[in-house]
Amino acid sequence: MLATLGFLSVILLLIAVMTKKLTPTVALIAVPTVMALIGGFGFEVGAFITSGIKTIAPTGVMFIFAILFFGVLSDAGTFDPIIKKIIKTVGTDPVKIAIGTAILAMIVHLDGSGAVTFLVAIPAVMPLYDAIGMSRSSLATVVALAAGTMNIVPWGGPTIRAATSLNVPVTELFNPVLVPVIAGIITVLVIAGVIGKKEKARIGSLALANVENTNIEEDPEKIKLRRPKLFIVNILLIIAAIGIMISDLLPPQVVFMFAFCIAVVVNYPNVKDQRERVDAHAKEALMMASVLFAAGAFTGIMQETGMITAMSEVIVGLIPTSMGRFLPVLTGIVAMPLSLLFDPDSFYFGVLPVLTSTASQFGVDPIMVGRAAILGQMTTGFPVSPLTASTFLLIGLSGVDLGDHQKKTIPYAFLVTIIMLVVAIVTGVITF
The answer to whether 341 touches 311, Cβ cutoff 8 Å, is: yes
In angstroms, the CA 196 to CA 202 distance is: 10
C-alpha 360: how far from its chain's center? 33
Q: Please tell me the total number of residues recorded for the chain in this structure.
A: 432
Q: What is the pLDDT tens value at each position of the chain, 432 positions in all?
A: 888 898 888 788 878 876 778 887 888 899 999 999 998 888 889 999 998 888 778 877 877 888 788 888 888 888 778 767 766 777 778 999 999 899 888 887 876 678 778 887 888 788 888 888 899 999 999 999 999 999 998 877 788 888 877 878 888 898 899 999 999 999 999 999 999 999 988 887 655 555 554 444 456 777 888 888 888 999 899 889 878 876 778 887 888 899 999 999 999 999 998 998 888 888 877 877 787 788 788 878 988 888 877 876 787 777 776 777 898 999 999 999 999 888 787 788 777 877 887 788 778 898 999 999 999 999 999 999 988 878 988 998 898 988 899 999 999 999 999 999 999 999 999 987
In angstroms, the CA 117 to CA 120 distance is: 5
In angstroms, the CA 250 to CA 98 distance is: 33
- 10 Å CB burial of residue 274 (0-12, 13-18, 19+) is middle
Long-range interactions of 311-318: CB distance < 8 A, separation 24+: 311/2, 311/3, 311/6, 311/7, 311/341, 311/342, 312/342, 312/346, 312/347, 312/350, 312/351, 312/354, 313/3, 313/354, 314/3, 314/7, 315/351, 316/351, 316/354, 316/355, 316/358
Kindly list the distances between the CA atom of residue 309 and the CA atoms of 4, 56, 312, 316, 347, in Å, as whole numbers in the listed order: 12, 20, 5, 11, 9
Kindly list the distances between the CA atom of residue 274 and the CA atoms of 68, 72, 430, in Å, as whole numbers in the listed order: 11, 9, 56
In angstroms, the CA 364 to CA 419 distance is: 22
DSSP for 290-306 reads HHHHHHHHHHHHHHHTT
Looking at residue 384, the DSSP 8-state letter turns out to be G
Q: Which amino acid is at 142?
A: V
Report which secondary-structure segment, H or E, holds 431.
Answer: none
DSSP for 185-239 reads HHHHHHHHHHHHHHHHHHH-HHHHHHHTT--S---HHHHTT--GGGHHHHHHHHH
- 10 Å CB burial of residue 35 (0-12, 13-18, 19+) is buried
Angle (deg, nearest 10), helices 44-75 and 252-267: 30
In angstroms, the CA 405 to CA 20 distance is: 12
Looking at residue 112, the DSSP 8-state letter turns out to be S
Cβ partners under 8 Å of residue 391, min gap 6: 382, 383, 384, 385, 402, 405
pLDDT at residue 420, as a whole number: 97
pTM, entire model: 0.72
pLDDT at residue 143, as a whole number: 96
pLDDT at residue 87, as a whole number: 63
pLDDT at residue 214, as a whole number: 45
CB atoms within 10 A of CB 298: 26
